[in-house]
Chain A
Amino acid sequence: MTRDNARALPTSVAHRRRAGRMGGPWGMALLLLAVAFLFIWPVVMQLMGMFRTAAPGTDGGWSLDVVARVYGSPATYRYLWNSLVYGLATTLLATAMGASFAFLAAHSNAWGRSLLTPVMLLVFAAPNLFYAISWSLLADPGTGLLNLAVRTLTRPDVTLFNAYTWTGLIVVQALKLTGFCYLLLLGPFQGMNRSFEEASLISGAGRFTTLLRVTIPLMAPALFGVVIVGIVFGLGTFDIPQILGALANIDFLSTEIFKSISFEVPPDYARASALSLFVMLVLAVLLVVQWRVLKAGRFVTVTGKSNRQNRWDLGGWRYLGTAAILLFTLFALLLPLVQLILTSLQPTIGVYKFSLANYQAVFRDRQTVQAFSTTGLLAVSAGLLAMLLAALLGHVGRHAPRWIERYLDSATLVPIIMPGVSLAVGLLWAYISIPGLRSLYGTFWLALIGVMVAVMPMASRAVRGALAQIARELEEAAAVSGASPLRVLWDIVIRLMSRSFLAGWLVTAIIAAGMLDVPIMLLSSTRPTVSILVYTQLLAGTPTQACALLVLLLVAVMLLAVAAAALIGLCNRLARRQVYPPIQTVSPGV
């Protein structure tokens, strides 16, 4: 759009478009193409695999055989039903817990609230596989440590805990997922203006009514983002269903997808893609619901007016809040973490003799130090890149026509529908079929792009929730004052959502640090990540050394979190020194 045309439009629309317009129509076209290449093409290549008789990138014919084979089998619908129940139940439970704890941390005066963020970080960073193994050791109906403890206190025939049941599966997955939900919801809760709640209270509404009718609705964009990712993640997650579900004789879509691509020779990508299509359908339905329910502008809490962020005095309820924090810390973190640390000190799982031999073996390995530095660099850069790109796309999208906004919104979510191995294979073929990118094969840079694409769904949800809270007028004011679109993005948008941005960066970096499939396909063999070394130890039959590596990885994540906290402190100090004058916020009413 030319400057003259912009003048011809109503002023607010012109400023709105100008605030997010970067590089004109050609720039927009290039951006849309880049998004298609990065996020859609690898997945399309995999979905096309449904109708091919050979692996992606290899010679083969076309066939509809998979349609009858997968969709004609009653077993498929049993897997789908189990997965839907599992995904919904775990996500709703985890979102409820995550939102409650985010509220306690951001807005309450409950004791122990400062514990919540480090606890949630560790819960989230604990790898799924070892979370599952820890809980199978803790809540085994025969020899589980929790049951042994209960029997010591009561009778020898009492079995209170059983991880190998529907309840066990859902509780364990929900505890793990709560960390993710909390971390993505904390920023929006912290950014929320207390004036709305105070207005509600002054108008005579009780605290509970205010919570239900003001606080939670204001959080709707962020909650929706978390629910979408949670459900889709629940449908595709593998480790906990594998370890606990197998002994409970419960089959899921994810375990069937794993079987299709892990053991068939050649891998049955057609069946895996056909099963993944269900995940895509669920995602599409959730996105449509989100677009219909969440209308732009209704959730703005960050505006150009004053902003109040003082805490709620919970009165007697604070004791309940503190008890919930302590209980969650015990069950979601301490018990599995203690189990993980104990295992890292054992010669093999289940043998209660302790030494530092596993750590000595890990440090003797010449690849260990390099693996930690590669992992750190890859995770931090991929997380940052994903968050910056998500912010750019979110910002451009909300100032663009609706179809572009929806295209960008859904494209960045697409990678989550594919199981890890399939996505990694799709990325590999997508990249090496481009001559320029082919020369990057085996380098850090191609792996960086791949990991960035894989974590983008989480980054885009973190950004979308935060963006919905920022009043467009702030960006338009900057645009009217002559700021370039890039400056509007950097100085207004990213600054105003800095808490959510940093939380999203941390979350995506942690996910990237634990990722196996993309690095193992795209990185050089001489530069393994910690996850590859963990996988090596598991294949070598030394899971206790793998635990030692994971304990060290958790320590590294905590150091990363401390560094992030220091960065936030620095930002705040800079703001106080008026290098960047803090914008006082909030707003009219809802």
Chain B
Amino acid sequence: MISDLLHSLPQVLVDGLTLGAVYAVVAIGYTLVYGILELINFAHGEIFMSGAFIGTAVMLMFESAGWLGAMPGWLAYMLIMAAAMLVTGLMGVGIERVAYRPLRSAPKLISLISAIGVSFFLQDLVRFIAELSTGSYLISSSTLYNDNLQLRVSKLGGSLGDAFLKTNTVILIVVAVLLMVGLDLFVKRTKWGIAMRAVAQDRETAALMSINVNKVIALTFFIGSALGGATGVLFAQQYGTVDPFIGYVLGIKAFTAAVLGGIGSIRGAMFGGLFIGMVEMFASANLGVLTSGNFGGEYKDVFAFAILIVVLIFKPEGLFGKAVKEKV
């Protein structure tokens, strides 16, 4: 049994890191918005999905215009990424303006229901547009950097097996890490980043510092949504096919990751995402082996939510959600 686990370990690590990176960046979107508005933006999973669709749509446009062969792959990649980030960023700003700002002084539950409404609306809107223009809501496009690589870990000896991946897998992980590092620096070092934290901590007093609170909130939605959209592109490039419902379960798992790390904490969201991605892939590969075939890999989803329940019972503030003692 141990040798089976070891054999699949390299592949589990690669896949876990890939999925975990996706969860981590999406989780940041939840945590940013929660930090500033105490609102769980349930539409964020659909922002991720929209990013995947926009990336795929731009890709299909490049294909049909014959530009894809004419420009280098990295340029095409950057262009679809930029398009998706810009559009999803603006979508986030629009959603806040239309669906959340008018309800800001209403009880939190009302905004939550509004968020769920936006989530369904986006699913159906994307499905409608996709079916109208292609006849199907399952959309595939060609993918960039999809050549296969093999990590020959088995040469290290023992019972380790090889891991298979694509060049795009490496790109996904690298880009996700760059996005996270970039965001972390922005929030820690820049004036607007510090203003985001100030507004999250005390909105009234932030306004007294001449900070335009609405502008900061809009900026937060732009950044969180653009990150979600970018991840959607990475995801679409990795798996090739998108549908309007990919954001739903993925969004809930990323939200779980944010809660695990301590909602409101950016580094917590990063850690939570990687952790849940790893656990899920480990379960997917090994559950059958560990339970002698009684439970298959399809039970992997149980783990993310079991972790959520355990965290909520024993450490409701999450792993990194430490509260600073405030003196009166």
Q: Do A and B come from one complex?
A: no
* A interface residue numbers (CB < 8 A to B): none
* B interface residue numbers (CB < 8 A to A): none
